[in-house]
């Protein structure tokens, strides 16, 4: 795709009813049918010459196919959005919804609302000898796409294999639901569950908060907020799968090494973050050069977010600190994107007084993931403050891989390994 097209369109899809919406729908179908073959071939050629698949990556041919599909969907979304017919994130939601699953007779599944937040609760039907663990799960998708349905196979697996009650939170997506409503909804659903855990046969002292990608970000911030609460039980553990935790430094080793590794390119991180925050995506290049970070804050945060803090074993594929000539603070960019430096958006930036109150933590990182080093830096922060941490380093994995869990030949071995090891950790609690 090359450079991503700037956009100022914040509403993913028109909600207006009537004949106008019908014609828009028909136009979308016709354009998609006509352009899809060409876009797929174009995306295939583009990713073949621009995507980088380092030695050791999990099933490179299959990864190329998934990246081609992802790129083609975004390209089609750019066209439809330019025509005012649909949006990039709207199309991604359709593309990532997942395939339907058969009924699972081993589980009781309920779609409920916790404090007006949509959740899906998975409860094993077999009798339990004691009150079960409770697992809250926040799905990934840059805060703009993804769904409970997309993670159905993994959620069912976790409920059955760990003998836990799993609560998947269906927070409303941005940009229609403005930031920080996603955090607010995850937090509200969590507090409701903690207060009513016994109604679901759950021990309130054995509640685990988890998520992947941006969902791991929500889980991190939720745990930080709960650490200050004295009216609720303490969170038993947090499980963070390839968490994205900071918007300060996009020159960390993993951002350089994996900048063009499918599926989440370095440019995509800033681009989707702007869409999520309802900002003009034309400022994404400035964000990647840290021009949104004032010099005093850049110095302050360097004690927590810096390539110098990454273990040498993760710099083998090459790392060069940001060229000072590329850094030039732009106050106007900072004013537009202040949210990047808020503790809600960047939970890596909370003070040590909060960090040291956090529960035992399990962190999954993938070698070929741009946000890999966020997990490594947070691990260091936790350990420096006396919090027990277990790190799972998936050496062949890429970002977003757990969304493929349970799809047989369409899955990747790294997805199965991550879910297997995560299951083992949860069972041990």
Whole-number Å distance between alpha carbons of 305 and 372: 13
The answer to whether 150 and 96 are in contact (CB under 8 A) is yes
- Report the C-alpha dihedral over residues 243, 245, 247, 253, rounded to 10 degrees: -60
The 3 state secondary structure assigned to 322-336 is CCHHHCCCCHHHHHH
Print pLDDT tens along the chain (429 aa): 444 544 443 444 444 445 566 556 566 655 655 666 676 676 567 666 778 889 999 999 999 889 888 888 888 888 888 888 788 899 899 989 888 888 899 999 999 999 999 999 999 999 998 999 999 999 999 999 999 999 999 999 999 999 999 999 999 999 999 999 999 999 999 999 999 999 999 999 999 999 999 999 999 999 999 998 999 999 999 999 999 999 999 999 999 999 999 999 999 999 999 999 999 999 999 999 999 999 999 999 999 999 999 999 999 888 888 888 888 999 999 999 999 999 999 999 999 999 999 999 999 999 999 999 999 999 999 999 999 999 999 999 999 999 999 999 999 999 999 999 999 999 999
Q: Superfamily assignment of 104-429 in CATH? A: Alpha/Beta hydrolase fold, catalytic domain (3.40.50.1820)
The answer to whether 336 and 270 are in contact (CB under 8 A) is no
Whole-number Å distance between alpha carbons of 289 and 293: 9
| Domain coordinates in residue numbering, the chain | 19-95, 104-429
Residue 384: which region, alpha, beta or left (left: phi > 0; alpha: psi -120 to 50)?
alpha
Per the structure block, which two tokens stand in for 367?
């070698």
> What is the length of the chain?
429
SS3 265: coil
Q: What is the reported pTM?
A: 0.91
Q: What is the CB-side half-sphere exposure of residue 69 using CA atoms within 13 A?
A: 10
Residues with Cβ < 8 Å from 263, sequence gap 6 or more? 63, 66, 67, 70, 398, 399, 400
Angle at 40 between CA 39 and CA 44, to 5 degrees: 115
Looking at residue 25, its pLDDT comes to 56
The answer to whether 250 and 288 are in contact (CB under 8 A) is yes
The answer to whether 328 and 354 are in contact (CB under 8 A) is no
φ, ψ of residue 365 to 5 degrees: the values are: -125, 155
Whole-number Å distance between alpha carbons of 203 and 287: 44
Please return the burial class of 153, using the count of CB atoms within 10 Å of its CB with bins 0-12, 13-18 and 19+. buried
Active-site amino acid positions: 213, 369, 399
Strand positions, DSSP E, 271-426: 360-368, 389-398
């Amino acid at each position: 795709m090359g450079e991503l097209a700037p956009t100022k369109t914040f509403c993913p899809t028109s909600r207006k009813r009537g004949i106008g919406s019908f014609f828009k729908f028909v136009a979308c179908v016709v354009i998609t049918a006509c352009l899809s073959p060409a876009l797929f071939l174009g995306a295939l050629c583009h990713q073949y010459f621009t995507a980088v698949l380092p030695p050791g990556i999990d099933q490179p041919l299959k990864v190329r196919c998934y990246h081609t599909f992802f790129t083609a969907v975004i390209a089609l979304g750019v066209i439809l959005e330019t025509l005012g017919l649909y949006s990039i994130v709207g199309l991604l939601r359709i593309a990532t919804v997942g395939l339907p699953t058969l009924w699972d007779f081993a589980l009781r599944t309920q779609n409920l609302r916790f404090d007006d937040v949509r959740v899906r609760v998975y409860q094993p039907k077999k009798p339990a000898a004691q009150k079960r663990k409770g697992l809250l799960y926040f799905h990934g998708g840059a805060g703009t796409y993804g769904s409970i349905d997309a993670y159905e196979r993994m959620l069912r697996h976790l409920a059955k294999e760990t003998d836990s009650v799993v609560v998947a939170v269906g927070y409303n997506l941005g940009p229609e639901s403005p930031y920080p409503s996603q955090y607010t909804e995850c937090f509200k659903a969590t507090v409701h569950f903690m207060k009513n855990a016994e109604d679901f046969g759950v021990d309130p002292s054995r509640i685990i908060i988890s998520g992947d990608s941006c969902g791991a970000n929500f889980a991190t911030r939720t745990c930080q907020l709960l650490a200050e609460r004295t009216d609720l039980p303490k969170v038993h553990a947090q499980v963070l799968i390839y968490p994205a935790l900071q918007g300060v430094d996009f020159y960390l080793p993993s951002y350089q090494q994996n900048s063009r590794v499918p599926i989440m390119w370095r440019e995509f991180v800033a681009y989707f973050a702007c869409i999520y925050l309802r900002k003009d995506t034309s400022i994404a290049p400035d964000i990647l050069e840290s021009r949104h970070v004032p010099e005093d804050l850049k110095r302050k945060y360097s004690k927590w977010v810096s390539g110098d803090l990454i273990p040498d074993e993760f710099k083998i594929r090459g790392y060069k600190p940001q060229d000072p000539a590329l850094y030039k603070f732009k106050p106007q960019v900072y004013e537009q994107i202040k949210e990047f430096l808020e503790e809600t958006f960047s939970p890596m930036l909370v003070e040590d007084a909060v960090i040291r109150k956090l529960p035992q933590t399990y962190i999954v990182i993938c070698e070929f993931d741009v946000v890999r080093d966020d997990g490594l830096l947070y691990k260091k922060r936790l350990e420096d403050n006396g919090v027990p941490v277990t790190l799972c380093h998936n050496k062949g994995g890429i970002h977003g891989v757990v969304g493929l869990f349970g799809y047989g030949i369409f899955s990747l071995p790294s997805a199965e390994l991550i879910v297997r090891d995560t299951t083992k950790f949860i069972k041990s609690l």
